[in-house]
Amino acid sequence: MSDLLKKAISLGWGLTIVSKEKIEGIVDELVRRGELAPSESKQLVERLIDKGAEEQDRFKELINEQVRSVMQGMGLATVKEVEELKGRVAELENKLAENGQS
């Protein structure tokens, strides 16, 4: 199993793809079965939604880290590096143009 998949599972990735309506349905079922007090249901829904949002952010960061790692491994330039090179080329072109006119 890939490291990324292991991390996603350990983060409880399932919560990141569950909708608010689905969470509310599950919590309502817990209330109906008497496993949760109605007064606690709203708090639980809010906590689960917040937890899901946090996990989604962490999962996105893991994906970004993996993409950066793959790009570095392939030797691809970053946007910043390309922009720096464009600036250097422009400077050299200007110097050549100035030397050609003198």
Q: What is the pLDDT of residues 6-21, one digit of tens each?
A: 554 455 555 556 677 8
CA distance 10 to 3: 10
CA proximity to 61, closest of 2, 1, 11: 11
Counting as low any pLDDT under 70, the low residues of the chain are 1-18, 101-102
Cα end-to-end distance, the chain, whole Å: 65
pLDDT for 23 equals: 77
pLDDT for 80 equals: 93
CA distance 80 to 1: 34
CA distance 54 to 7: 14
How confident is the model over 50-63, as pLDDT tens digits?
887 887 888 889 88
Cβ distance 62 to 4 under 8 Å?
Answer: yes
**Residue 37 CB neighbour total at 10 angstroms:** 11
pLDDT for 81 equals: 93
